[in-house]
Structure 1
């Protein structure tokens, strides 16, 4: 087959001149309130997933090597005109000068048809709100709008993964089956979340701890942006999904299991006087009940009690550790904790009071292509990373002032004498007490904001935290004020991350791990959690008086913690920090306030350029950063779909690969500067008034 014949760069960028907030997530923001009145949650979920799926397929090159064709305007109008009226109506309403119709006849008499437009983070993306059609020209001509799973089946057919007969019989390869099942679950569970409303009213009137809990619920609604299977929590029934996902705010009573002191590994924050997690996260009543239960079983001196998620106790422990329980090594205690609440990461639990002590527990559900267990080796590496982060704060005054760290050194993991750190079974029975800086949850001037919440549009529209932020400052929403808030956020985010980069390290600052510390209307700093994913380059650490932490890496397995040079380290800033975290915030803010996405991307570029100049980098580092971040023709991209299909299930962290895509700053720089609107009212205001009437 021939490669895709694309319009020239000049054609792309000329048509992209008027790019506004019509990027991946806009279909879930600008017309969200109106769409929720006229479409079901299931339809909304399908649209959300279809956008992420099509864009992911394009940027990962699934259509490379096909004989797809870009239709001339006359051909496109003719083809669209043949659509049944009820299918063509939405396309006609979303006509835009830069859009192009792409058609791939993948089988005789069968074609896929989709409306595409130039993108910023990738060359081409689906026009938000448009559908993808299957066109049958043989026999009785027909059109059919495809749901995400149907689209993947057509693609597999077109790529001759299975034959048509095996497709109909459901006989796909294991990897294809794994991905299709994840799509199915993601669609079903996304609809459950969309059908629920997180109460985001009067946010700044709530206590700091309650505010944080609500923002975690908000962040959970989308999970990881741009990932078509992100919401799939495989292993949870619909009832369990309602009971254990953060957005539903259902209290969760934890179970307790006693594990032998002699068959346990503990964290850097656990000493010889250790009384276990209960000393940090259980009230006096629960502590008394645990003590009595241990004494009754004759285990008071030999065992320690650790909390277990009720789903894990019911489903995973009988599968993975049945022999340990039958042998009496591990013993279930008939004690339940006071209720806890799930956070956006599902296996991390928040207390229902203002305590600074949270929990992280293993859950053997399958999410993002990986099982969510909690292995001791990860927590050991997290202790090593925490030590480096504390050293970084000592070596940089701004980091000392504004980089906040969770204490993740208090952890306990079952480790039988014959087991290794890399065995599967023990990693299903462990617990971490994650302690937040207490002042951030008790001082009413502070607010903790998971950055994922800023990049998650509410399905019903009508609210973004920037609304609360502006109101706190007594400002009206306008082009200038909203852009100003985004610039402040970027300034805080990039200053701290680039200062860490200068020292030879980068945290995994996607929207779930990076928490904005907001103090009385100002960006005060960043709070980091999940320290086990700190990426480093040892030569640069040594230049600044730090040493190789000697991470524990499984022999023969890929390593994502060590990098040979700073250029390789930048991969994580370009992908997780910008292409996922900040991009989602741009798309959501642009959609909510009807501000051009190009403006926000240009604002980010200006902030990065300014920080490169202001931070005391060497001349070589400044050149590297400008070259790789601002001037390079293309960027690395973290593949999402193909790695899930290739792994075809199994243990391990989230599977990923590396590809190449556009440099968003170069794409924006190539567009013609746009006129600055004077005042831009909230795009969904009228629809929201109707929706909430």
Structure 2
């Protein structure tokens, strides 16, 4: 191993990977997907400090390993041939790889070893493709490369030795639940990859993405799902058949089922009883053709269910077959709702699974509850969330009235048409009723029906198709350009500038929507960024003093008494947290990562593009001196930034999952401050 070891070491004792080894040969789609999950897992553990608990982890140089372990050459030689997706020939000589060594106990001779590199978004990141090796000097064994489940088992066994195992019948603790989610993520990822390698029907994953195909872009986004979250793809409760029928990646049509619900048991828009208001458009009128509505009426007539007393509500087929018979069995037996023998209305799943897009391509989409567990939460759809979404939408509409640029460039999906089963005896926060509801999301017809206009979910920019194409390729072609790294860099800057400009205009009014990539949709007009479309308004956060200064009314969100909330923020810095984390660390950085991987552009170069875009956005947003000072200090001057934790909230989750995703914050490096130091 002498030659390999010599090649690995530079004059300063750091390790570099051989550029010629990274040609992708022999790596199939499943291996790539599993490596991505491993990468997300290791990086989350690094960012949240879990590797460092009890001084178990340390950064070492290759030379140090050689001096302490006689067989270190075999480890380094294996790393030499690692397929490194994160480094490119454009990287400078200062971009050197180090090693991270972790021991179960500080005194242990055995350890885990994997390559890391100094990073911008966090102190160190795993070198994708480098591998995690279990080294056992006492056994004189060859280092063994291990996968995500083995890594997770070693970590949890060391940090949570008491809680890791549970007896049958106990309520799952966070460790057990997260372990199952990771296993399920790997399993369900394998199902997708098997389908892709065979006679795939996943058109969005295999064909070049088209800008005008919103449903196809949603399917593409589903391949990445929530960026950087190692268990994002897990859909607890779905069998393999369910996953293939209902997940967005498979692109299968979903035909709606329907139930007739007694009007007196339904809440609707505004939080009022359906029986107490004039009849607005029904779900069927908004979602179905005239002929389909006729079929629905005939089904109700056959069961002698008068429309004066009942209203037909759409239900996801899996929900009707699996969840309602169990959780709402008594209510069904009492006649509160009656399943109808009609199947009509064809839709396709979006990347969020609950939201469905019409096969006809119309403006009315539908969001339905699902009793699956994703990211530690049950994906039901409670009335209180839809009420808050309606109030959040009104707040954003007020903000548009106060700012001419927002009025022109910010668009909103209309989410004011909804229905929720809630018996008069039930509480807003009771669980079972939340499993029967529906929201019709209406996209602006001015955008959907406008020639030359394309709606691109920002989450789709964080993924790329299996054939190697990226959405930016299609965008460049619309502009009459051949895809190129230079063109991709320009478009990335355009995305950053447009997004950050509008976010800062909202921030100066004391408002910040939920701006991760699933909710924020880029509006392109004739090949140029022309606006931003927001959807899912139930988490529009605010800072009341600035709102009141700008004439915006408190939306008076309905909150569960005694529970913390993140909608009302006590300082502008806490409101800005959501731009730093969801907006930059999650949304824009996931796009940056995909552009880096696909086009081979140096990551620090794209961070510089983002920084320049942010500075320009601050000028365009017309911030007051006080607001600008807050933004400058938080974005550029502070050496640390808030960090949205992914694993710790799930590990600390107690009891059964609710409808809210566990959340928590930590601290990390300021990427723009770190960029200036480099």
Query: Please, what TM-score do these two structures have when normalized by structure 1?
Result: 0.87
User: Which secondary structure does the structure 2 equivalent of 1:336 belong to?
Assistant: strand
Deviates more, 1:625-634 or 1:262-271: 262-271
Shift of 1:57: 0.3
Deviation at 1:193, TM superposition (A): 2.6
**Secondary structure, counterpart of 1:221 in structure 2:** helix
Which of these residues, 30, 34, 53, is aligned with residue 42 of structure 1? 30
The within-5 A match list for 1:154-193 is 154-159=154-159, 161-162=161-162, 174-193=173-192
Q: Is the 8 A contact 1:189 1:238 kept in 2?
A: yes
| 1:94–1:326 Cα change, 3 Å | closer
1:60-107 CA-partner distances (Å, limit 9, x unpaired): 010223243333332335654134976763279999852111222224
Q: 1:315-464 to 2 correspondence within 5 Å?
A: 315-458=322-465, 460-464=466-470
Which residues of structure 2 form unaligned runs of 5+? 1-11, 88-92, 197-201
Distance 1:349 1:94 in 2: 35
Q: 1:198 and 2:203 equivalent?
A: yes
Residue 4 of structure 2: aligned partner? none
Quote the Cα distance in structure 2 between the aligned partners of 1:326 and 1:273.
Answer: 27
Say whether the 8 Å CA contact 1:411–1:431 is kept in structure 2. yes
Bigger mean CA offset, 71-80 vs 557-566: 71-80
Instruction: Please give the alpha-carbon distance, in whole angstroms, between the structure 2 residues aligned to 1:170 and 1:420.
Output: 28
Distance 1:189 1:396, change over 3 A: same
CA contact (8 A) 2:351 2:518 kept: yes
Q: For each residue in 1:149-181, what CA deviation from the matched residue of structure 2 results, as whole angstroms up to 9, or x when unmatched?
A: 1111111222352499x6999999722111110
Higher relative contact order, structure no. (Cα contacts within 8 Å, ≥ 6 residues apart):
1
> 2:49 aligns to what?
61
From the superposition, tell whether residues 68 and 386 of structure 1 become closer, same or farther in structure 2 (CA, over 3 Å).
Answer: closer
Q: What is the number of residues matched between the two proteins?
A: 640
Is 2:508 the partner of 1:498? no
Between the aligned partners of 2:157 and 2:208, the Cα distance in structure 1 is 51
Match of 1:243 in 2: 245
Task: Please give the residue correspondences for 1:662-681 in structure 2 after superposition, counting only pairs within 5 Å.
Answer: 662-671=669-678
CA shift digits 1:343-385 (9 cap, x unpaired)? 1110100101131000000001000111100000000001111
2:5 is matched with which residue?
none
Q: Does 1:573 align with 2:579?
A: yes
Over 3 Å counting, the alpha-carbon distance change for 1:478 and 1:254 in structure 2 is closer
In 2, the alpha carbon distance for the partners of 1:145 and 1:217 equals 33
Q: State whether structure 2 residue 541 is matched by structure 1 residue 552.
A: no
1:470/1:87 Cα in 2 relative to 1: closer, same or farther (>3 Å)? closer
CA shift digits 1:447-484 (9 cap, x unpaired): 110000001133x3521111112122222444543222
Structure 1 unpaired stretches of 5+: 1-13, 23-29, 672-693
Checking the alignment, whether the CA contact within 8 Å between 2:166 and 2:176 is kept in structure 1 is no
Local SS of the residue matching 2:45: helix
Q: Does 1:467 align with 2:473?
A: yes
Distance 1:93 1:389 in 2: 40
- Judged with a 3 Å threshold, the aligned counterparts in structure 2 of structure 1 residues 106 and 203 are, in CA distance, closer, same or farther, namely closer
Match of 1:527 in 2: 533
Q: Say whether the 8 Å CA contact 1:44–1:191 is kept in structure 2.
A: no
Corresponding residue SS for 2:498: helix
Change (3 A) 1:394 1:158: same
Is contact 1:505-1:537 (8 Å) kept? yes
Q: TM-score, normalised by structure 2?
A: 0.89
Question: Residues 162 and 173 of structure 1 are in contact (CA less than 8 Å); yes or no, is this contact kept in structure 2?
Answer: no
Once the two structures are TM-superposed, the CA of residue 339 in structure 1 deviates from its matched residue by: 1.9
For the residue of structure 2 that corresponds to 1:335, the secondary structure is strand
**Comparing 612-621 with 102-111, which one deviates more in the overlay?**
102-111
2:203 pairs with 1:215: no
Q: Secondary structure at the match of 1:334?
A: strand
- Equivalent residues of 1:361, 1:374 under 8 A apart: yes
Q: Distance in 2 between matches of 1:86 and 1:73?
A: 13
**Cα distance, 1:45 vs. partner?**
2.4
Change (3 A) 1:243 1:173: closer
Distance of 2:615 and 2:551 partners within structure 1: 27
1:140: how far off? 4.8
Structure 2 CA distance, aligned partners of 1:343 and 1:279? 22
Would the aligned equivalents of 2:85 and 2:128 in 1 still touch at CA under 8 Å? Answer: no
Task: Using the TM superposition, give the Cα deviation of residue 275 of structure 1 relative to its aligned residue in structure 2, in angstroms.
Answer: 4.8
Quick one: distance in 2 between partners of 1:163 and 1:74? Answer: 38
